[in-house]
Structure 1
Amino acid sequence: MNPSFLAEKALSWQELRPELQLTELPHSRLDFFALQKRASAAIEQFLQNPHRHLFVLKGDEQGEYANLLEDFVTSRQQPDEQLHGVQYHVEQGDSFSFPRIFTEAAQHKEDNFVAKKRVASALHVDQFQLLGSVRLHPSSQEIQLNPGLVHQLNGGVLILAVGSLISQFDLWLRLKQLLLTQRFDWYSAHPFKDLPCDIPSYPLSLKVILLGNREELATLDELDADLYDLADYSEIESYYGIESAEQGLKWAQYVQSIANDHQLPQLTLDGLNKLYQLLVRESEDRAFVSISPLKLKTILAGCAILNQKETDSLLSAVDLEQFFQHKEMQQGFLKEHTYSDILHEQVYVATEGEIVGQINGLSVIEYPGTPMAFGEPSRISCIVQFGDGEVVDVERKSELAGNIHGKSIMIAEACLAHTLGFPSQLPFSASLVFEQSYGEIDGDSASLASFCVLASALADCPLPQSIAITGAIDQFGLVHSVGGVNAKIEGFFSICASRGLTGQQGVMLPSTVIHQLSLSEDVVNAVKTGQFFIYPVDDVYQACHILFQRDLVEEEGKAYNETNQPLSRLITQRIEQRAEQQLYKTSFWDWVLRKK
């Protein structure tokens, strides 16, 4: 392979990590809902609309968001001195009369069913906490009425978790009736017992905000088809776009506000930039970073504890990098053992030399029950026999691969047939295998690698084992985006670095994933010194040009000789030679049989 040729096709080290466009530390405060334009506008409109009483809000971290939402709603409410609710009077019965309960308009804040709050949240409620209770003394038979959250928040806003209502669906039906009628009716808590006496209902004005993740909201929507006829909807966004310097400044203000609110050290300029880079790894998009208060609080608190930082000190890029490395070490047991198997050749992955019909694909490994996912190279091999045109995906055939993987292999086969201009089915049979793969695999990120290894086996041209590949292709040969590129690159780099970098190793990936890149210091430094390379490609033509240092198909106006023939010509020649040999064998045996 020609090192200078490959270096020209690679990304520079400056392109491997994003930089936050920030020139000075922010000093003004910015709260969470200042970054939630859609949700905050929708909530404000809901609060002002007297005809809407239910709001559904998608949010994943309900424990964190409930308190923030409570503060936000409180800040948007107008002062209200009006008394909401009633006073229930209970005339206890005796041996000669039944008990009697009646109401009168509330006169004092101390009345038993007067609203005590304007806003409150509850992530788990039962029937009695939410709707109150009717208690009957076991010996005296005296009746006691106890208010629930709906009574305490009459005229106000109640924030509830959807999960609690799904598990108690009857509770949701009662709440829904209350919101539709804006009136509270008493019912017996026991399905086979009546109330001890008639208890009058009364008007109850309430707004409810339901907070839940997408799966919970989908379940509630399935259980109640009329949900969104009754409810307004919006989402708490977990990521904030920072495509401009102004947005970057707002995000930095928010991070510093989180640190200040929780009495944690604030960040330096390079600390903010490093935090941004670490969060891009999680979001896989340079234009979006997490604004999860729980995630940011966890990172800042972890950095402060690990580096023994006081509240009045600052967290630098070094502190954040140490926290990241420490977290990797804590969670890296399975990753280390996986890489150890490769380094001890219990799992064979070549990182040097050239081999026909063999290539290193890249995948992301996720073990159930562990929070850490990591990249791992996988050896993909292909054997070709001239036959009836079937390409056997061994993983799919043995039921070790999912539907998306099976689809991607068929796309790779169709792309090759289209590129080479075969008139009908391929005039060969082939088998594609993920070697030493014993678990289920899925996804289409190996389709580019499958295309290249199939082309290698057909053309009898070797592939460099020093370059690992990830990317999805379509039938026309365009290379499309895949996920987990940072983990995939670092996984292959780790194996190469442990064996010793040769200056020829690297990773090929789609050009469309460059905005996902936020690589570790080790990878960036290796690229900077010319020991490792990242090759972006747009289509299979560019991929083959880099891997084989040949054109995939003949280009008009270009001269070819024995050393630089395009792959399509080599494949055609092999097919023709095989056809002639097959014809000769058939003619020979026909002649032998006629002689007999």
Structure 2
Amino acid sequence: MNSSNQLLNWRDLRPELNIKSDINLLETTKDTDFFDLQPHAGAAIERFLKNDNSTLLLLKSEQHGQYAPLLENFIRINQPNELAIKGVKYDLKQADSFSFPEVSVEPAKSKMDNFAAKKQVATALYCDQSQLFGCIRVNSSSHDIMLSAGLVHQLNGGVLILSASNLLERFDLWHRLKQILTTKQFDWYSLNPLKIMPCDIPSYPVELKIILLANRAELATLDELDEDILQIADYAEIESYFSMENCEKQIKWASFVQQYARQNGFPAIKESGLTALYQYLARQSEDRHLINISPLKLKSILSGVVACNKNYNQSNSLSAVDFLRYFDSLSQQQGFLRECAYNEILKEQIYVATQGEIVGQINGLSVIEYAGSPASFGEPSRISCIVQFGEGEIIDVERKNELAGNIHGKGIMIAELCLANILELPSQLPFSASIVFEQSYSEIDGDSASLASFCVLVSALANLPLPQSIAVTGAIDQFGLVHSVGGVNEKIEGFFTICERRGLTGHQGVIIPTTVLNQLSLSETVVSAVKNGKFSIWTVDDVFQACQILFKRPLLSDDKNTEETSISTLINHRVQHRAEPKIRLFERLFFKR
């Protein structure tokens, strides 16, 4: 097996936009709206608006404030422009010393009538009873009454956009809204349950549609409080990520970004700038085919790019240089904890070797997150294993001292079971092994170190040295297949930074799962080092390929390969050598002549 087959080319390390350079996105005949990137949600909203029997749409969204204006605009485009005259006109006859006030009602004949529909669509993310349902105002001195219309009256025949978080805080609002949607009738009630209304006010028919914006947690709470809500409502989702699988979708996304920049007063973006933005978003989503399309996030990035560009001019277009300058400055201003961690390694306060070979020691890769800090970063972790005479127990020191979570413990157990399965080792080894994350003082979790744990266990059992210039990440199963892990960009760049500051030798690199190729969106520094042969990145599908790269020999015996003794042969010889003294002792004790 040739390890060069798993060596990545520098072109594989970052995604590229597949857009023809002669496409002028500013001159596109049709602007790309946000809901053009939301075909499922857009179709659901259109069906909801056209269906007279649908009165409630639950629209899953994470950030209500940024999507409500976009939703309003989309509804205005898809609703008839001419607002029909709906509602009523209330005539009031004020009370005198001999009578009570009287209220009569007749159908609205003009939009100027007091309870005629005034709006086609409106948003009320935060509101109270009087804003929604109107109120009865009573003059404290004359006792004259006045009826004030609420959003329910103003939007008769229209659409009201609400936030679930507001309704959950005041759930009595939802009960009354539900009654209006169900009966299609508005009835007047006193806002104060301890006081009666000053007079009887006739009810009147109301046709209302409500779109309720809610995240997953809010939807779950609504379902618990009202078991009928999912049965009476339509459901759709505003997707947080947009697929970038083909050229057509990439052009659509690029057109949306250009239109958004133009509408919000930002300069146009060059193709190189779009590529840099795409690479940054793909890095954050950890998927080249799915990127975040949050308008709030896009606005934050474009604002930062403009603010970071000292030579900003409205007539200038934003290029990749402008975006990268902003991303670098953002990384630096959030990188204090990262630099502290790397300095500890470089000053050998935390020992991590990046040269030479050592038996039973390997560099794993982990992602460090601190509470209260928005940035995470990759950091190499020294994993060691020693083997002694024993009863076959594999001791996970972190787990035994309650410094590791259940998933980490599961990963170490899988590494042990995988080795026993592949090498067909006896049920009870004459060895005991201990696996330690050296100089780890806080709780760790996750199974991304199971491949590294497997390799360090193999090294200790076979007495074969591991190159300290290669770091490893990956999760394995009992059959030796290597599976995906998260944070691969941060992990690679973390180990690369330590190697670069100590001096790149051309022998350093990392081993990652093949399944994370779509996650890769590495920095220009790493890409240049790989391009110049100063740093290497290997992808592996299974433990056999990983062992071939690390030990330069096969894991199992192969008749076709006679140059190097296999690792399994070395381990079996060592197992037999350790087992023989026990057998001879047993024979002397029980078979004396």
Task: Give 2:12's aligned residue.
Answer: 15
Cα separation, 2, equivalents of 1:179 and 1:192: 26
1:142-541 correspondence runs (5 A): 142-307=144-309, 308-424=311-427, 426-541=429-544
Contact 1:7 1:533 in 2 (8 A): no
Alpha-carbon offset, residue 119 of structure 1: 0.6
* Cα displacement string for residues 199-254 of structure 1 (whole angstroms, at most 9, x for unaligned residues): 33221111111112222223222322222211111111222222222222111111
Cα separation, 1, equivalents of 2:229 and 2:581: 70
* Cα displacement string for residues 430-453 of structure 1 (whole angstroms, at most 9, x for unaligned residues): 222222222222222111111111
2:234 alignment partner, SS class: strand
Cα separation, 2, equivalents of 1:513 and 1:558: 30
Alpha-carbon distance change, 190 to 413 in structure 1, aligned in 2, over 3 angstroms: farther
* Cα displacement string for residues 451-505 of structure 1 (whole angstroms, at most 9, x for unaligned residues): 1111112112111111111111111111111111111101111111111111111
Moved more, 328-337 or 80-89: 80-89
2:137 alignment partner, SS class: strand
Letter in 1 for 2:15: P
Cα separation, 2, equivalents of 1:494 and 1:239: 30
Alpha-carbon distance change, 189 to 503 in structure 1, aligned in 2, over 3 angstroms: same
Letter in 2 for 1:12: N
Task: Give 1:124's aligned residue.
Answer: 126
Contact 2:83 2:120 in 1 (8 A): no
**Structure 1 residue runs without a partner (length 5+):** none
Alpha-carbon offset, residue 108 of structure 1: 2.4
TM-score by length of 2: 0.94
Letter in 2 for 1:580: E
Alpha-carbon offset, residue 193 of structure 1: 3.4
Alpha-carbon distance change, 93 to 534 in structure 1, aligned in 2, over 3 angstroms: same
Contact 2:156 2:206 in 1 (8 A): yes
* Cα displacement string for residues 391-436 of structure 1 (whole angstroms, at most 9, x for unaligned residues): 2222222222222222222222221111111353555332222222
Moved more, 120-129 or 316-325: 120-129
Identical counterparts, % of pairs? 59
Alpha-carbon offset, residue 535 of structure 1: 0.6
1:28-39 correspondence runs (5 A): 28=28, 29-39=31-41
Moved more, 484-493 or 121-130: 121-130
Alpha-carbon offset, residue 133 of structure 1: 2.2
Cα separation, 2, equivalents of 1:81 and 1:127: 25
Cα separation, 1, equivalents of 2:17 and 2:463: 47
Contact 2:15 2:279 in 1 (8 A): yes
Letter in 2 for 1:90: L
**Structure 2 residue runs without a partner (length 5+):** none
Moved more, 219-228 or 576-585: 576-585
Letter in 1 for 2:568: S
Contact 2:429 2:575 in 1 (8 A): no
1:497 alignment partner, SS class: helix
Cα separation, 2, equivalents of 1:173 and 1:439: 49
Alpha-carbon distance change, 157 to 81 in structure 1, aligned in 2, over 3 angstroms: closer
Letter in 1 for 2:11: Q
Alpha-carbon distance change, 411 to 187 in structure 1, aligned in 2, over 3 angstroms: farther
Alpha-carbon distance change, 197 to 6 in structure 1, aligned in 2, over 3 angstroms: same
* Cα displacement string for residues 309-347 of structure 1 (whole angstroms, at most 9, x for unaligned residues): 222211111111111101111111111111111111122
Cα separation, 1, equivalents of 2:284 and 2:104: 59
1:346 alignment partner, SS class: coil
Moved more, 379-388 or 169-178: 379-388
Contact 2:408 2:447 in 1 (8 A): yes
Letter in 2 for 1:339: Y
Letter in 1 for 2:159: V
Cα separation, 2, equivalents of 1:79 and 1:157: 14
RMSD of aligned Cα (Å): 2.1
Alpha-carbon distance change, 574 to 147 in structure 1, aligned in 2, over 3 angstroms: same
* Cα displacement string for residues 119-170 of structure 1 (whole angstroms, at most 9, x for unaligned residues): 1112212222222223334444433322221111110001111111122222
Alpha-carbon distance change, 179 to 460 in structure 1, aligned in 2, over 3 angstroms: same
Contact 2:54 2:233 in 1 (8 A): yes
Verify: 1:559 aligned to 2:562, yes or no: yes
Alpha-carbon offset, residue 537 of structure 1: 0.2
Contact 1:417 1:426 in 2 (8 A): no
1:104 alignment partner, SS class: strand
Contact 1:16 1:518 in 2 (8 A): yes
Cα separation, 2, equivalents of 1:81 and 1:255: 32
Contact 1:265 1:300 in 2 (8 A): no
2:136 alignment partner, SS class: strand
Alpha-carbon distance change, 203 to 426 in structure 1, aligned in 2, over 3 angstroms: farther
Alpha-carbon distance change, 397 to 176 in structure 1, aligned in 2, over 3 angstroms: farther
Cα separation, 2, equivalents of 1:191 and 1:415: 69
Moved more, 52-61 or 143-152: 143-152
Letter in 2 for 1:442: D
Task: Give 1:579's aligned residue.
Answer: 579
Moved more, 390-399 or 324-333: 390-399
* Cα displacement string for residues 521-576 of structure 1 (whole angstroms, at most 9, x for unaligned residues): 1001111111100010000000011111111111244325xxx2211122212222
Cα separation, 2, equivalents of 1:503 and 1:567: 26
Cα separation, 2, equivalents of 1:157 and 1:425: 71
1:379 alignment partner, SS class: strand
Verify: 1:570 aligned to 2:570, yes or no: yes
Letter in 1 for 2:329: H
Contact 2:121 2:159 in 1 (8 A): yes
Contact 2:16 2:275 in 1 (8 A): yes
Cα separation, 2, equivalents of 1:314 and 1:225: 53
Contact 2:386 2:434 in 1 (8 A): yes
TM-score by length of 1: 0.93
Contact 2:449 2:473 in 1 (8 A): yes
Contact 2:506 2:535 in 1 (8 A): yes
Alpha-carbon distance change, 497 to 186 in structure 1, aligned in 2, over 3 angstroms: same
Contact 1:17 1:518 in 2 (8 A): yes
Cα separation, 1, equivalents of 2:567 and 2:318: 54
Cα separation, 1, equivalents of 2:377 and 2:43: 39
Letter in 1 for 2:581: Q
Letter in 2 for 1:501: L
Alpha-carbon distance change, 63 to 346 in structure 1, aligned in 2, over 3 angstroms: same
Alpha-carbon offset, residue 281 of structure 1: 0.6
Contact 2:152 2:208 in 1 (8 A): yes
* Cα displacement string for residues 257-288 of structure 1 (whole angstroms, at most 9, x for unaligned residues): 11111111111121222221111111211122
Moved more, 136-145 or 121-130: 136-145
Contact 2:268 2:317 in 1 (8 A): yes
Letter in 1 for 2:277: L
Among 543, 547, 553, the alignment partner of 1:544 is 547
Aligned length: 585
Contact 1:86 1:111 in 2 (8 A): yes
Letter in 2 for 1:19: E
